[in-house]
Amino acid sequence: MKDAIMLPPRSALYMPASNARAIEKARGLAADMIILDLEDAVKPGLKDEARQAAVDAMAEGFGDRLTAIRINGIGTPWHMADLAAARQAKCDFVVLPKAEAASAVADVADRVFKPLLVMIETPIGVLNAAEIAAVEDVAGLLVGANDLAHLLRLPPKAGRESLSMALQSILLAARAGDVWALDSVFNDLNDPDALMAECIAGKMLGFDGKTLIHPNQIEAANQAFSPSADEIEEARALVAAASGGAERFRDRMVEAMHVDMARQLLARADQA
């Protein structure tokens, strides 16, 4: 990943910046990343209060967790003030919603002096995702499936397969730009089995982790996006046995690419 040394989060939890209790609770949660939200989770009348609360919370910190502030989108009445606050805040990343043009993303990056996690949640954003991921200060793409499904005019009960082309397009763009790819939130808070199934499906597509909207979803995401014991054993054995070039390993042919993948998996296991 360009200019980065940290592993992508398995779990990235949105928390409303206007909710002091939620922010305090977040300091004891097992999420890999805490995202304080100034956008959808905050009512218009509370935007100014939430903005200052986010800056104050980041100054206090969240231990060893990665941190981010999701600002209001380009063209909204709160965008410029959010940019100024995000620039001074002690967060690791800034989340930019509803991005559609690489030039606009680059302008935001120039103003906040922090790596961006860019939300792709419109048809134009999907079509321009590769250009957005190539912007120097973009560290990752985040899927915004709710808005995307709405703008694609999908029926209310349309399954995730209706978004398969968009999901893969965003993932391809992230990989081409060598940035993180985080899957969309899961809306149903009362169906843990479906949540786990969607986490696993996201991992099978190639996503690095999942964005979340409730603390009860953290365990599923961490489990799904962490290597299993069998995967760890296989990776360790492969790295230990590798001698360079194409060779036989446990009745299959492997090469340097597979060894690199094994090392990446072991790094992910250390994170877990």
The answer on pLDDT for 2 being more than 60 is no
Q: For 11, phi and psi rounded to 5 degrees?
A: -135, 125
Query: When comparing pLDDT for 242 and 27, which is higher?
Result: 27
Give me the residues paired with residue 69 across strands: 36, 94
Please check whether residue 22 lies inside any domain of the structure: yes
Q: What is the pTM of this model?
A: 0.90
Give Cα 217 to chain centroid, integer Å.
14
CA distance 109 to 71: 12
Same domain? For 131 and 257 the reply is: no
**Proportion of the chain above pLDDT 90, given as a percent:** 79
* Mean pLDDT across 210-226: 97
Exposed/middle/buried for residue 189 (C-beta within 10 Å: 0-12, 13-18, 19+): exposed
Instruction: Tell me: do 162 and 265 sit in the same domain.
Output: no
| In a shared domain, residues 188 and 54 | yes
Co-location of 211 and 236 in the same domain: no
What is the structure's pLDDT at 1? 47
Mean pLDDT of 24-32: 94
CB–CB of 144/97 below 8 Å? yes
pLDDT of residue 4: 46
pLDDT band with cut points at 50, 70 and 90 for residue 253:
confident
State pLDDT tens for residues 85-107: 999 999 999 999 999 999 999 99
Q: What is the CATH number of the domain that holds 202?
A: 3.20.20.60
The 10s digit of each residue's pLDDT in 154-178 is 998 888 999 999 999 999 999 999 9
Q: Are residues 54 and 177 in the same domain?
A: yes
Q: State whether 167 and 259 are in the same domain.
A: no
Expressed in percent and rounded to 5, the helix, strand and coil fractions of the chain are: 50, 15, 35
Are 246 and 209 members of one domain?
no
Same domain, 67 and 120: yes
Domain containing residue 190: 11-224
Q: Which amino acid is at 161?
A: E
Domain stops at, among 207, 224, 241: 224
Domain total of the chain: 2
Residues 127 and 210 in one domain: yes
Mean pLDDT within 136-143: 97
For residue 134, CA distances in Å to 39, 92, 130, 167 come to 25, 19, 6, 18
CA 117-120-123 angle, to 5 degrees, is 165
2 within some domain: no
Q: What are the start-end ranges of the H helices in 61-161?
A: 79-88, 102-112, 123-127, 129-133, 145-151
Residue 108 maps to a domain:
yes
Average pLDDT of the chain? Answer: 92
Q: Among 41-55, 216-230, 253-267, where is mean pLDDT lowest?
A: 253-267
Q: How confident is the model at residue 265 (pLDDT cuts 50, 70, 90)?
A: confident
